[in-house]
A and B are shown apart, each in its own frame.
Chain A
């Protein structure tokens, strides 16, 4: 089952044959009549779920159903920021688990996900911003998460291109800095998890859209797809922006709303920014990719939408803020701009939960910041599906919290800019 390991030796061996003999990274099997677990959604979170199900649990046959192609959804559309500096204990522990998995992920998957711990800086522009930053930073340290407070002079030393003068439209009063945060190569994360899951026997079935969820006596028994009916003992749904659509197939109503979220990249530049800059107040975030492009993320549109595109005014405001912070970027030309659909929860925290339908599990509501959680999300969701019980790390992130009122309110705490 195990494909050729990627290594310096396999590289050398394949160089001899002019790289004509590399095996496929994952198979493209036809769907079987039934599986023990079907993961609906072949994004990063779904593939990670399938990988950890196969690698750490004994659940039998597993399939991932993807309506498009691997790497074609939000995994390939985001700005790849990874951090774990969340305010509330529940969120901090979940994202920190994910960050720890990131730190060993390339070795674990035998696939270079290009995880680069270049640090993440969250700027404060007002006195209240700074108070919130001190509070969050102290909470992070109590949870064992690395966090420093930087003065404007220290920020300037790290990021010379930034305008930190008190005359600036958005004066920089300080920042929190998480040195272990950073960025990763988004496509590689999807491909790496897909390849590693496939090597452990998971069937990855692309161009196979789930169109219905079959139930019998209150329990799930399979899914209808564009490639026919596929039986399943358990169905794990991880479909980001389309969570409500899938929930509707099982006659469930969810507390999520889907919004367009946009991002853009510039032409490649020489190295100018070697960390990640985020600003909640002006709602912009920017980093420089290994190719040299500035990767810029904007905010969501207020209206709901499934159209994978947003309003120009959002980008205009976003770019204006970035140029105020980095006047040297004013003549940089933008190459590409795109949108994805994010499902936002009222408390800006995900739902990783069992549902009233037996054998049906949902992992959704990650909003604008799901990428950083990819390995951790898959890890806890695999546990939830395999054991039919949440792991301690995701027990608080159940659907029930909207009934009990035990929300985990990361809006404004750390959840505005992702």
Chain B
């Protein structure tokens, strides 16, 4: 089981959270200009990293806010937690 530190509420049990998939996937500005391959890449292809993975979680049973987590997908250790618009170092996007 994971213990995840919500950036607003602090450390809580994994069961309070909902997983939201890979982080930092940005919807293309103008989809109508993309090729089918580019659109498919945005829709379906994922990094699925073995090792450090940037992902989204939502504190559904708490403050109900989304945030980002850096997690090791082998050890499952939570390496960093940061708010939307931030980078793990704390710098703003």
Are B1 and A304 interface neighbours, CB within 8 A?
no
A79 lies within 8 A of chain B by Cβ: no
Given contacts A305-B73, A311-B2, A403-B36, contact A257 B46 (CB under 8 A): yes
Are B45 and A304 interface neighbours, CB within 8 A?
no
Given contacts A302-B19, A304-B73, A403-B36, contact A346 B44 (CB under 8 A): yes
A to B CB contacts below 8 Å, 19 in the list: A244-B47, A244-B48, A253-B45, A254-B45, A254-B48, A255-B44, A256-B48, A257-B21, A257-B48, A302-B18, A302-B19, A304-B48, A304-B73, A305-B73, A306-B50, A312-B1, A346-B44, A402-B45, A403-B37
Are B73 and A311 interface neighbours, CB within 8 A?
no
Chain A residues within CB distance 8 Å of chain B: 242, 244-245, 253-258, 302-307, 309, 311-313, 343, 346, 402-404
Q: How far is the CA of A403 from the CA of B41 in the complex (A)?
A: 8
Residues of A near B18 (CB, < 8 A) are 302
B91 lies within 8 A of chain A by Cβ: no
B55 lies within 8 A of chain A by Cβ: yes
B75 lies within 8 A of chain A by Cβ: yes
Q: Please tell me the number of chain B residues within 8 Å of chain A, measured between CB atoms.
A: 26
Residues of A near B14 (CB, < 8 A) are 311, 313
B53 lies within 8 A of chain A by Cβ: yes
Residues of A near B76 (CB, < 8 A) are 305, 307, 309
Q: Which residue of B lies closest to A301 (CB)?
A: B19
Q: How far is the CA of A303 from the CA of B71 in the complex (A)?
A: 10
Residues of A near B19 (CB, < 8 A) are 302-303
Chain B residues within CB distance 8 Å of chain A: 1-2, 14-15, 18-19, 21, 36-37, 40-41, 43-50, 53, 55, 71, 73-76
Closest A-B pairs by Cβ, 7 of them: A255-B44, A244-B48, A302-B19, A253-B45, A403-B40, A402-B44, A303-B19
Residues of A near B47 (CB, < 8 A) are 244, 253
Contact of A404 (CB < 8 Å), options: B15, B36, B49: B36
Q: How far is the CA of A403 from the CA of B37 in the complex (A)?
A: 6
Are B46 and A255 interface neighbours, CB within 8 A?
yes
Residues of A near B37 (CB, < 8 A) are 403
Q: How far is the CA of A403 from the CA of B35 in the complex (A)?
A: 9
Q: Which residue of A lies closest to B77 (CB)?
A: A307
Are A304 and B36 interface neighbours, CB within 8 A?
no
Are B15 and A313 interface neighbours, CB within 8 A?
yes
Residues of A near B71 (CB, < 8 A) are 303
Given contacts A245-B50, A311-B1, A313-B1, contact A306 B44 (CB under 8 A): no
Residues of B near A404 (CB, < 8 A) are 36
Are B73 and A306 interface neighbours, CB within 8 A?
yes
